[in-house]
Amino acid sequence: MPIQFQGRVAIVTGAGGGLGREHALALAARGAKVVVNDLAAADAVVEQIRAAGGQAIASAASVTNFDAVRAMVEQAMAAWGRVDILVNNAGVLRDKSFGKMDLADFSLVMDVHLMGAVHCCKAVWEIMRQQQFGRIVMTTSSSGLYGNFGQANYGAAKMALVGLMQTLAIEGEKAGIRVNSLAPTAHTQMTEGLMPEAVLQAFKPAAVTPGLLYLVSEDAPTRTILCAGAGTFERAYVTMTKGVHLGTGPDAAEQVAQAFEAISDRAHGEIVPSSGAAQTQNELARAARLG
């Protein structure tokens, strides 16, 4: 079944260029009405969508400004009466090794990525709840999931978005709101100079967008982390091993050291918890059985 967005209204932040632009164009090409948000350059993308026969409006709201974000959502509501899809994509980098990093640069990156997404989610949440339909995507990163030299601020913000997704997916479930994360790899102004020339074409932003389209579709999953780049799609998980019950004796610390390999064992009983309660339940069950 082709993925279509007729009748759906989407907001894509940071869509003046790079990945966001590609997402906005693809959503519009498949029938969505799109709010193209960016600090600048949103108008050109809107023009492109309209020239192709689609519907779009521009918003220059900074995602860091909650009032401006609310006004953007009101703009969408006034034009089209609903908001079905939110793609939190806006982002900046301020790379430096942690020792040399200013706290101001740490805060700025947290503000744009994390608080920017929080503002947008907050502004559409009640609308989506009342519609009993919503699709939200957080743009995370391998730098957050796995770390990357020089990106303590960016990595922390990107992993925080996964944390935001985990709980919003749980809280949104009954209201038909599905929340996912996308970890892209693409050649954009953000990654300028970081990729070898030979692979630039393969890493075009358009190679990531199919993953985004699935994550905001009718049949979207929820609470997933999809990785995408150069046409390859992977899935990342936050998992928990079965663990070892060691009790609370005076030598428990030494036992932890001794059992560390068994504690770390992924081959037997590792799970993807469906909520944070899974850890408590596992610990309770093991303590009850062995206590």
Ligand X SMILES: NC(=O)c1ccc[n+]([C@@H]2O[C@H](COP(=O)([O-])OP(=O)(O)OC[C@H]3O[C@@H](n4cnc5c(N)ncnc54)[C@H](O)[C@@H]3O)[C@@H](O)[C@H]2O)c1
Write out the two tokens for 114.
């994390």
Write out the two tokens for 179.
């929340």
Q: Yes or no: say if 156 and 146 are a contact pair by the CB < 8 Å rule.
A: no
> CA–CA separation, 282 vs 244, rounded Å?
10
User: How would you classify the pairing of strands 85-88 and 225-229?
Assistant: unpaired
Residues with a catalytic annotation lie at 154
Opening angle at CA 132, ends 128 and 133, nearest 5: 65
282 is a contact residue toward ligand X (CB under 6 A) = no
Look at residues 269, 263, 271, 272 and name the one whose alpha carbon lies nearest to residue 223. 272
The size of the interface with ligand X (CB under 6 A), counted in residues, is 28
Site string for ligand X, 179-218 (x = CB under 6 A): -----xxx-xxxx---------------------------
* Residue 68 neighbours by CB under 8 Å, 6+ apart: 61, 62
62 is a contact residue toward ligand X (CB under 6 A) = yes
Query: Considering only 70-78, 86-94, 95-103, 272-280, which stretch makes contact with ligand X by CB under 6 A?
Result: 86-94
> CA–CA separation, 7 vs 84, rounded Å?
9
19 is a contact residue toward ligand X (CB under 6 A) = yes
> CA–CA separation, 60 vs 72, rounded Å?
8
Q: At what angle do helices 18-29 and 42-51 cross, to 10 degrees?
A: 20
Q: Yes or no: say if 202 and 230 are a contact pair by the CB < 8 Å rule.
A: yes
20 is a contact residue toward ligand X (CB under 6 A) = yes
With CB under 6 A as the contact rule, the residue among 10, 14, 49, 135 that binds ligand X is 14
39 is a contact residue toward ligand X (CB under 6 A) = yes
155 is a contact residue toward ligand X (CB under 6 A) = no
Nearer to ligand X, 188 or 282 (CB): 188
Closest distance to ligand X from the beta carbon of 116 (Å)? 6
Closest distance to ligand X from the beta carbon of 68 (Å)? 9
Query: Considering only 102-110, 126-134, 178-186, 242-250, which stretch makes contact with ligand X by CB under 6 A?
Result: 178-186
134 is a contact residue toward ligand X (CB under 6 A) = no
Residue number, nearest CB to ligand X: 18
| Interface ranges with ligand X (CB under 6 A) | 13-14, 16-20, 37-39, 62-64, 89-92, 112, 116, 139, 141, 184-186, 188-191
